[in-house]
């Protein structure tokens, strides 16, 4: 059996050698992606799924549905039939013609019962500094800077670790409600960084959507990839060869707003059963209750609170709310299982054992938010721009530290990432510590309604996808002429993921059509 070093070397080879057992594995967050297929009794593998495909490799209809459901294609599936991707913290063992894929690591949360805040604070700050120092490679020290707590922390720690200021790179949007540049400037001023800014425009999207979509090894629908690409491109043009990113802080230390939201839903479990079933549920489920804003909101709360996790997270899933059969052609519907995606989520949700509800949410997000979406977004966008990237927040020492923190240190009442912020008070600007989490993304829905060239690109892409037999032509017509103009923020997301799917297919599988 091979050592860890030999395994890492094997990632860039194409197939197994010899008759002995072969083992491959990926890190805890699948930062180094690894895809594989069994071909003529041999295990072939590569970092990208498209490197294992050939002219005879078919597109997997189930993967198309998974993409529309998740906006990415989660492991172990890929867009290609017979080609798979190792999930994070999993290994693949190939021996005597048999392949076994299983996790080699599952998170074990061992919360400290009587922690010393001051001791943890000092340890945490040192771990952050060490994690950033580990990622610096002697080239110009640089990082993304959004103005949030994570990227601002990385910028500040670069100064401590390198003895000089970081070069920081920020993206803005000239669209009301979508720009947080003021916080990036505040962090830059506080840490005296060499700051650079770029405002992405609709024309930028028209120029680059095709190239960025085609750079990924399979369809990828996270719309933040485009601004990330332009940020990385700006850094590359400035001579930077590696950027540090802040991804992971929210998921390790309890910073996503939905963690507080789910805690509020959890309160419902403590209401006496007689009150819930005898009064609240019957009254709030009536038409009369839906007619008033307050009771309608209360009814929505009860409706969601009654649904167990992780199913609750998908109650407003775009394709499921619209109805898969209303969006997809009968040819595609006949070849997919619309319940498979949720079954995957449920299996991942059950993996951690003996942990708090919040920690279970964190572990779930390590898979679906980080490993399947945010990290591939950054890796793909920086790769397209020709820049390397490091993720100091995902340093194994910080991961181990987070596993020992009490749940109340991550979410104190409804206060997100309490310990992280308190431990960095005096290091980060108070305005950044106290700012409300916004998380605005690309204003695509707004722009696609008002920018002729972008609108034309979207329209052509969606009609082309309909011609392939993937989506219904009548749905595309309604989406573009009625729903998008009425609700650009909501339905713009559907336009984006469909357009990106078509752009990838046109580059990588132009002849693809749905069979009957």
Least confident of 106-110, 153-157, 173-177, 303-307: 173-177
Domain count, the chain: 3
Classify residue 152: in a domain, yes or no.
yes
Considering the domain architecture, whether residues 239 and 122 belong to the same structural domain is answered as: yes
Given this model, what pLDDT does residue 341 score? 97
Q: Any bridge partners for residue 36, and if so which?
A: 45, 84
Residues 64 and 331: their CA atoms lie apart, in Å, by 12
Strands 388-390 and 242-244: parallel
Confidence of residue 202 (pLDDT cuts 50, 70, 90): very high
CATH number of the CATH domain containing 427: 3.40.50.620
pLDDT the model gives residue 438: 57
Is there a single domain that holds both residue 420 and residue 460?
A: no
Q: What is the mean pLDDT of residues 161-180?
A: 86
Asked whether the predicted pLDDT for residue 18 surpasses 60, the reply is: no
Classify the C-alpha dihedral 271-272-273-279 as positive or negative.
negative
What integer is the mean pLDDT of 27-50?
95
pLDDT of residue 6: 35
Q: Where are the beta strands (DSSP E) in 55-161?
A: 84-85, 90-95, 98-103, 142-144
Q: Does residue 300 lie within any of the structural domains?
A: no
Residue with tokens 């839903």: 265
306 within some domain: no
Does the residue 291 lie in any domain? no
Q: Mark whether 32 and 136 lie in a shared domain.
A: no
pLDDT the model gives residue 286: 81
Which one of 434, 456, 481 terminates a domain? 434
1 pLDDT more than 60: no
Instruction: Indicate the pLDDT class of residue 225, thresholds 50, 70 and 90.
Output: very high
Domain boundary among 103, 136, 169: 103
Same domain, 146 and 14: no
Q: Do 94 and 142 belong together in one domain?
A: no
Lowest mean pLDDT among 102-116, 204-218, 270-284, 327-341: 270-284
* Tokens 């329209």 -> residue: 459
Q: What is the average per-residue pLDDT within 85-98?
A: 95
Q: Is the pLDDT of residue 5 over 60?
A: no
Gyration radius of the chain's alpha carbons: 24
Whether pLDDT at 375 is above 90: yes
For residue 56, is it within any domain? yes
- Are residues 227 and 374 located together in one domain of the fold? yes
Edge-to-edge strands of the sheet including 98-103?
Answer: 22-25, 90-95, 98-103
19-33, 152-166, 309-323: which range is least confident on average? 19-33
Residue 110 is assigned to a structural domain of this protein: no
Is the pLDDT at 2 greater than 90? The verdict is no
Identify the band that residue 15 occupies on the pLDDT scale cut at 50, 70 and 90: low
On whether both 376 and 467 belong to a single domain, the answer is no
Q: Which two tokens stand for residue 489?
A: 């923020």
What percent of the chain is modeled with pLDDT above 70? Answer: 94
Is pLDDT at 458 greater than 60 in this prediction?
A: yes
Mean pLDDT, residues 475-480? 97
Is the predicted pLDDT of residue 8 greater than 50, yes or no?
A: no
Residue 154 pLDDT exceeds 60 = yes
The confidence band for 437, taking pLDDT boundaries of 50, 70 and 90, is low
State whether 94 and 203 are in the same domain. no
Compare 192 and 299 and report the one with higher pLDDT.
192
The token duo for 247 is 């991804």
| pLDDT at residue number 153 | 98
C-alpha dist (Å) from residue 473 to 314, 458, 464, 465, 480: 26, 14, 10, 9, 11
Q: Does residue 59 sit in the same domain as residue 175?
A: no
What CA–CA distances, in Å, run from 65 to 61, 309, 336, 347?
7, 22, 7, 19
Give tens-digit pLDDT for 178-193: 667 899 999 999 999 9
- Spatial contact of 366 and 88, defined as CB atoms under 8 Å apart: yes
- pLDDT at 436 (0 to 100): 75
pTM for this prediction: 0.93
Cβ–Cβ < 8 Å for 76, 87: yes
Position 425 in a domain:
yes
Instruction: Indicate if 98 and 141 belong to the same structural domain.
Output: no
pLDDT tens-place string over residues 55-79: 999 999 999 999 999 999 999 999 9
Mean pLDDT estimate for the chain? 92
| 227 within some domain | yes
At which of 382, 407, 434 does a domain end? 434
Cβ burial 242-262 (10 Å sphere, 16+ → b, else e): bbbbbbbbbbbbbbbeebbeb
122 and 77 in one domain? no
Q: Is the domain of 451 the same as that of 429?
A: no
**Residue 370 corresponds to which tokens in the numbers above?**
């980080």
Which range marks the domain in which residue 176 is found?
117-254+368-434
Mean pLDDT along residues 286-307: 85
Residue 379's pLDDT is: 98
- Nearest CA-CA partner of 277 in 311, 301, 306, 307: 306
Whether a cis peptide bond, with omega within 30° of 0, leads into 76 is yes
């Amino acid at each position: 059996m091979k050592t860890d070093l030999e395994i890492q070397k094997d990632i860039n080879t194409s197939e197994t050698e010899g008759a002995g057992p072969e083992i491959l594995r990926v890190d805890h967050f699948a930062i180094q992606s690894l895809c594989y297929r069994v071909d003529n009794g041999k295990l072939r593998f590569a970092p990208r799924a498209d490197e294992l495909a050939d002219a005879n490799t078919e597109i997997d209809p189930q993967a198309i549905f998974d993409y529309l459901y998740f906006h990415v294609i989660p492991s172990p599936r890929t867009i290609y039939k017979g080609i798979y991707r190792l999930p994070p913290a999993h290994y693949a063992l190939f021996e005597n013609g048999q392949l076994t894929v299983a996790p080699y690591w599952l998170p074990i949360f061992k919360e400290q019962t009587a922690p010393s805040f001051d001791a943890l604070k000092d340890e945490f700050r040192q771990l952050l500094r060490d994690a950033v120092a580990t990622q610096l490679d002697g080239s110009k020290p640089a990082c993304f800077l959004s103005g949030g707590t994570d990227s601002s922390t990385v910028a500040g720690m670069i100064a401590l670790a390198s003895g000089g200021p970081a070069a920081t790179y920020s993206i803005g949007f000239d669209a009301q409600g979508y720009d947080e540049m003021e916080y990036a400037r505040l962090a830059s001023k506080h840490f005296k960084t060499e700051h650079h800014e770029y405002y992405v425009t609709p024309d930028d999207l028209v120029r680059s959507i095709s190239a960025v979509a085609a750079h990924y090894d399979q369809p990828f629908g996270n719309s933040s990839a485009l601004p990330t690409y332009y940020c990385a491109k700006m850094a590359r043009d400035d001579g930077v060869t590696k950027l540090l990113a802040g991804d992971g802080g929210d998921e390790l230390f309890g910073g996503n707003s939905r963690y507080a939201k789910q805690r509020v839903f959890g309160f419902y479990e403590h209401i006496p059963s007689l009150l819930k079933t005898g009064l609240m549920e019957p009254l709030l489920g009536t038409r009369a209750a839906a007619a008033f804003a307050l009771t309608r909101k209360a009814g929505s709360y009860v409706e969601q609170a009654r649904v167990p996790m992780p199913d609750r997270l998908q109650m407003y899933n775009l394709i499921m709310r619209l109805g898969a059969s209303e969006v997809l052609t009968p040819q595609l519907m006949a070849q997919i299982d619309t319940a498979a995606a949720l079954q995957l989520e449920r299996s991942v949700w059950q993996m951690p054992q003996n942990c708090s509800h919040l920690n279970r949410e964190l572990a779930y997000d390590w898979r679906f938010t980080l490993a399947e979406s945010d990290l591939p977004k950054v890796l793909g966008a920086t790769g397209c721009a020709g820049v390397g990237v490091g993720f100091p927040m995902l340093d194994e020492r910080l991961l181990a530290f987070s596993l020992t923190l009490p749940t109340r240190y991550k979410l104190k009442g409804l206060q997100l990432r309490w310990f992280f912020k308190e431990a960095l008070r005096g290091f980060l600007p108070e305005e950044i510590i106290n700012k409300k989490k916004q998380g605005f993304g690309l204003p695509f829905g707004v722009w696609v309604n008002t920018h002729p060239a972008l609108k034309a690109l979207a329209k052509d892409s969606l009609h082309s996808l309909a011609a392939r037999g993937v989506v219904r032509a009548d749905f595309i017509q309604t989406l573009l002429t009625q729903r998008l103009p009425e609700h650009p923020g909501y339905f713009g997301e559907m336009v984006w993921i469909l357009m990106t799917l078509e752009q990838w297919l046109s580059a990588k599988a132009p002849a693809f059509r749905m069979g009957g």
